[in-house]
Amino acid sequence: MAKSEESQAGFSRPFRAILRRPLRVVEGRRRLLKWIGAGAVALGAGGLGLKRLLGDGDAPQGGWRPFRAQGVVVVVKHKAALRSDGSADPQAVAQMVNAGVCRLTGEREPRQAWRRFVRPEDFVALKVNCLAAPELRSHPEIARAATDGLAGVVSRRENLLIYDRLTEELRQGGFAVNHDGPGVRCYGSDAAGYDPEVSESGAVGTCLSRIVSTHATAIINLPVLKDHDLAGISVALKNHFGSINNPNKMHTDHCTPYVADLNLMPALREKQRLIVCDALLVTYQGGPALNPPYTAHHGAVLVGTDPVAVDAVGLGIIEGLRKQRGLEPLASLPRAPRYIALAGRYGLGVADPARIKTITVDLS
Amino acid sequence: MDRRGFLKCAAALGAGAFAWGCQAARPSGVARASRPWPPTTPPSPSAGQAQAAQTDGHFVRQAQHYTRLGGRRVRCEICPKKCEVGDRERGFCGARENHAGAYHTLVYGRACSVNIDPVEKKPFFHFLPGSLALSFAAAGCNLACKNCQNWEISQVRPEQVEAAWMPPERLAAEARARRIPIVAGTYSEPVTFFEYMDATAVEGRKQGVRTVMISAGFINPEPMKQLCAHLDAIKIDLKSMRNAFYRDNCAGELQPVLDAIEVAHRHARWLEVVYLVIPTLNDKVAEVRDCARWMKRHVGPDVPLHFTRFQPMYRLKNLPPTPTETLVRCRNAALAEGLHYVYTGNVPGDPGENTYCHHCGKMLIERRGYEVRRNEITGGKCRFCATPIPGVWS
């Protein structure tokens, strides 16, 4: 659905009126809320997990802002997430995803947690990764857990769309293609089309999928954690190569600066609300397709709002798996993912592992 | 390429023959499915009529000129980019894909644009002047020129553009049936539909149709020699004499293009070169002189050189169209360096459109735009002084 530039910013009219008030009034309100927040942290941090009260405290009264937690990644593990046959256990996966969003937001109930990312009027596009389907792709169980959570917020399930580049790849990945029937929609950019005009950002010149540019008001990024023979790894930042029409032009120089430049595009940067990274099955060498000798049942899901931090944590996981197998670290190879640090310098998130807060939740 | 041109051919040649083939080349929101491999799934219900009978699998062929590497990876050897491509990934051109260590072209017979043009539009000025060329293209390109005038088919992936099944034998047969002497691979970049281009040239020779290629020349020597053996003429775009221009504006390199021009000169039956003049980027007289000197030294003074006008397009819209004076200046500089046949393109009425005998100076071919008004070349020679005029005249 077409949205004006103003409404895509997510600020209601009352909020804009507040912005025009004298600064000292806003500052006073902020100071008060910060005190409240500090107290709540002292009381609730242990039991409720990290609460981004300082950030929430900045939200003026009467306006909604999507939850943001820069530099925070929740890693949720569950031994039973993958069965012995490699399939995902829907219940375990749903537990993981909901535990992740709750821990990230500090909410007790998943329903409340999901409300922190989308609003009832949002049209939410969920970007999965089915390039290497059927063997290695975003598990439909993760997407299902996300859509079930989101369905409790948005006005109707038909306002949820699972997408990737090609409809057939989605089908190969085990997703039920649904162009216009009841329930969650699912189709590729090949069905939705691409912008007729080129969008530019740094070195990137591309036609965005209309799903991203026009239809969606919110994006949930559901990447797969995997090795990539040119980009080093493919996680949240690179997943949006499937949101444009010419990713083949952007693999030169190991995808740097293209991945970072692409994620600077307002349609992606401003609409993306959450990343739920599928790290159930991780190929850590020889990607982006499944490479069985170098694939681990990792049984984890990474949850965050910071795509750079998610990528950095994902890179750490892959480096750990590589080290166990005696493989060279990616950091020492020409294909080291330099775009992660670049994206950090661009202000898209936190790239330095030392500055990332990683919260581990083990549901096993 | 004119966006309307693709549709015009249907009326010109008979809607029955081309209705399934000719559609305006534009990014499509309703392309067909392209998996599994080889793809067999019927297109989506909203796909265009032209695609109703086809699936993407129809267009897939094993690629030529690639090397298998370890771990199901391949290295493409068609062009200097030498893309090393992992399983399920594509090369830079977007028209070739690796599946389990086997590289495939996705665009064999996959014509996204078919048109009938005067051969002068390619431009060929010394090859069958006044003839028509059945011109075709498949989507994709191994460069990314910011000023590409055909970006809607060159800078996209094949499944994003409506296309028709036009195998080589069909192209040659259609040209022959309509007494069109030439089939031209053009518009996008024939290097990226190498197998399709080469097979079309082979088929054309069998059926008595000449085949020509219009290319940026960013291709490795061996595949270029293969094409030269089958093609009747090649036109190469020499975009600049500066590698920085190729790197920054085209995502390419200069030297391989110069090498390709030399290979084409040695092995092809006929060669012409185009230099698109872009204000402030490659229009300096020194650079033009470098171009002329290089050509004279490496391919000789008889290879025609065309200076053509830039139009703001795609990602280069902040520059003006090339002034006529600049084109004239470029032509004069190249003539001063000793080249015999130098033209200004896209300037109807300018003397630079005409062909003059390099010996006696008489006008031999008078042109106005793409129209040949007078031809004084007889038996391949100047009618006035009997000097052989380089070219393919019949």
For chain B, domain boundaries: 5-105, 110-382
Q: What are phi and psi of B205, to 5 degrees?
A: -65, -40
Can you tell me which residue has the tokens 């975003």?
A138
Mention every residue, 6+ apart, whose C-beta is less than 8 A from residue A87. none
Query: Which residue of A lies nearest to B155 if distances are taken between CA atoms?
Result: A246
Let me know whether A81 and A52 are in one domain: no
Q: Does A129 touch chain B (CB under 8 A)?
A: no
Choose the mutation target among B3, B28, B87, B143 for the interface with A, i.e. most A CBs under 10 Å. Answer: B87
Do A66 and A116 contact (CB within 8 A), yes or no? Answer: yes
In which domain, by residue range, is A47 found? Answer: 1-65
Same domain, A92 and A55: no
Q: Mean pLDDT over residues A132-146, rounded?
A: 96
Whether pLDDT at A150 is above 70: yes
Spatial neighbors of A91 by CB under 8 A, at least 6 apart, are: none
A192 contacts in chain B (CB < 8 Å): 29
For B375, list phi and psi in degrees, rounded to 5: -135, 110
B116 and B181 Cβ atoms separated by less than 8 Å = no
Question: Is the predicted pLDDT of residue A335 greater than 50, yes or no?
Answer: yes
Question: Do A216 and A123 meet the contact criterion of CB atoms below 8 Å apart?
Answer: yes
A162/A42 same-domain check: no
pLDDT in tens, B115-130: 999 999 999 999 999 9
pLDDT over 80 at A5, yes or no: no
Of A131, A249, A291, the CB nearest to B144: A249
Residues of A in contact with B86 (CB under 8 A): 228-230, 286-289
Probe site for chain B from A248, A252, A295, A335 (most B CB atoms < 10 A) = A248
Close Cβ partners of B105 (under 8 Å, ≥ 6 residues apart): B59, B60, B61, B62, B63, B95, B96, B193, B194, B195, B196
Q: What is the mean pLDDT of chain B?
A: 88
A-B C-beta contacts closer than 8 Å = 105
Chain B positions in Cβ-Cβ contact with residue A131 (cut-off 8 Å): 88-89
Return the residue of B nearest to A289 by Cα: B87
- Return the residue of B nearest to A135 by Cα: B88
- Minimal Cα distance from A204: which residue of B? B315
> Which residue in this structure is represented by tokens 């600020």?
A11
Burial label for A178, CB within 10 Å (0-12, 13-18, 19+), is middle
B84/A229 Cβ within 8 A? yes
pLDDT of residue A30: 52
Residues A160 and A260 in one domain: yes
Note whether B251 contacts A168, CB cutoff 8 Å.
no
Which two three-digit tokens encode residue A37? 């927040």
Residues A102, A144 within the same domain: yes
Question: Could you report the per-residue pLDDT of B270-279, keeping only the tens digit for each?
Answer: 999 999 999 9
For residue A241, what are its two tokens? Answer: 């190569």
Cis peptide before B39 (omega within 30 of 0): no
Is the per-residue pLDDT at A55 higher than 90? no
Assess contact for B117 and B123: CB atoms under 8 A.
Answer: no
Residue B127 CA to residue B362 CA, distance in Å, equals 19
Does residue A28 sit in the same domain as residue A143?
Answer: no
Predicted model pTM: 0.84
Q: What is the pLDDT of residues B360-389, one digit of tens each?
A: 999 999 999 899 999 999 999 999 999 999
- How many residues are present in chain B? 394
Closest alpha carbon to A247 in B298, B206, B94: B94
pLDDT over 90 at B339, yes or no = yes
Chain A residue closest in CA terms to B87: A289
Q: Which residues contact B11 (CB under 8 A, 6 or more apart)?
A: none
A223 and A118 both lie in a single domain: yes
Which 233-292 residues of chain A touch chain B by CB within 8 A? 245-246, 248-249, 251-252, 286-289, 291
Q: How far is A103 from chain B (nearest CA, A)?
A: 36
* Residue of A168, A245, A251 with shortest CB distance to B157: A245
Q: Quick one: A188 exposed, middle or buried, by C-beta within 10 A (0-12, 13-18, 19+)?
A: buried
CB-CB under 8 Å, A167 with B90: no
Nearest to A339 by CA among A262, A264, A260: A260
Q: Are residues A162 and A146 in the same domain?
A: yes
* pLDDT over 80 (residue B39): no
Q: Using the predicted structure, report yes or no on whether residue B320 has a pLDDT greater than 90.
A: yes
- A5-14, A69-78, A208-217, B205-214: the lowest-pLDDT one: A5-14
> Percent helix, strand and coil across chain B, each rounded to 5?
30, 25, 50
Residue A31 confidence (pLDDT): 53
Inter-chain touch A288–B87, beta carbons under 8 Å: yes
- Who has greater pLDDT, B9 or A306? A306
Residues A209-222: tens digit of each pLDDT: 999 999 999 999 99
Q: B268 pLDDT exceeds 60?
A: yes
Beta strands in B63-131 (DSSP E): 66-68, 74-76, 84-85, 96-99, 102-105, 110-111, 113-118
Which of chain B's residues have a Cβ under 8 Å away from the Cβ of A245?
27, 156-157, 160
Residues of B in contact with A286 (CB under 8 A): 71-72, 86
Q: What is the predicted pLDDT for the residue at B37?
A: 62
Residue B33 and residue A291: Cβ atoms within 8 Å?
no
Q: Is B369 left (phi over 0), alpha (psi -120 to 50) or beta?
A: left
- Closest-CA residue of chain A to B248: A203
A94 within 8 A of A144, measured Cβ to Cβ:
yes
Residue B15's pLDDT band, with cuts at 50, 70 and 90, is: very low
Q: What is the mean pLDDT of residues B257-263?
A: 98
Instruction: Note whether A207 contacts B157, CB cutoff 8 Å.
Output: no
Residue A204 and residue A350 in one domain: yes
Q: Residue B35: which of A169, A191, A288 has the nearest Cβ?
A: A169
For B381, the 3-state DSSP assignment is strand
Domain holding A265: CATH number? 3.40.50.11440
| CA torsion angle B257 B260 B265 B266 (round to 10) | 150
Note whether A167 contacts B160, CB cutoff 8 Å: no
* End position of a domain, from candidates A50, A65, A80: A65
Same domain, A18 and A144: no
Q: Are B350 and B326 in contact (CB under 8 A)?
A: no
Mean pLDDT of B247-253: 97
Residues A58 and A79 in one domain: no
Q: What tens digit of pLDDT does each residue of B54-101 get?
A: 467 889 999 999 999 998 999 999 999 999 999 999 999 999 999 999
Residue with tokens 């920054």: B248
C-alpha torsion angle, residues B357, B362, B366, B369 (rounded to 10): 70
Q: Which CATH code fits B110-382?
A: 3.20.20.70
Residue A84 confidence (pLDDT): 83
Give the total number of structural domains in chain A.
Answer: 2
Do residues A117 and A262 both lie within one domain? yes
Chain Cα centroid distance, residue B246: 17
* CA–CA distances in Å: residue A290 to residues A130, A182, A281: 11, 33, 9
Distance from CA of A72 to the nearest CA of B (A): 32
pLDDT of residue B56: 76
Judge: A172–B36 Cβ closer than 8 Å, yes or no: yes
Q: Tell me, what's the pLDDT at B23?
A: 35
E-strand ranges in B282-325 read 305-309
Residue that terminates a domain, selected from A65, A87, A116: A65
For residue A161, list its beta bridge partners. Answer: A125, A185
Please check whether residue A190 is in contact with residue A170, taking contact to mean a CB–CB distance below 8 angstroms.
no
- Give ipTM to 2 decimals: 0.84
Q: Which of A48, A65, A82 is the last residue of a domain?
A: A65
- Residue B347's pLDDT band, with cuts at 50, 70 and 90, is confident
